[in-house]
Amino acid sequence: MGHTMKWGTLLPKRPCLWLSQLLVLAGLFHFCSGITPKSVTKRVKETVVLSCDYNTTTEELASLRIYWQKDSKMVLAILLGKVQVWSEYENRTITDINNNPRIVILALRLSDSGTYTCVIQKPDLKGTYKVEHLTSVKLMIRADFPVPTINDLGNPSPNIRRVICSTSGGFPRPYLSWLENGEELNATNTTLSQDPETKLYTISSELDFNMTSDHNFLCLVKYGDLTVSQTFYWQECK
**pLDDT of 13 higher than 50:** no
CATH assignment of 39-142, among 3.20.20.70, 2.60.40.10, 2.60.120.1440, 3.40.640.10: 2.60.40.10
Mean predicted confidence (pLDDT) in 80-99: 87
> What is the CATH T-level fold of the domain 149-234, as seen in this structure?
Immunoglobulin-like (2.60.40)
pLDDT of residue 237: 72
- The answer to whether the bond into 172 is cis (omega within 30° of 0) is yes
Coil vs helix vs strand at 210: strand
2-16, 160-174, 224-238: least confident range? 2-16
Give the pTM.
0.71
Domain spans in the chain, listed from the N-terminal domain onward: 39-142, 149-234
Sign, CA torsion 48/54/55/60 = negative
CA distances from 205 to 74, 121, 216 (A): 42, 55, 16
- Which amino acid is located at 69 in the chain? Q
pLDDT of residue 140: 93
Same fold, 39-142 and 149-234: yes
d(CA 164, CA 195): 21
80-89, 134-143, 202-211: least confident range? 80-89
Q: Which residues pair with 4 in a beta bridge?
A: 97
Rounded (5°) CA angle 228-234-238? 170
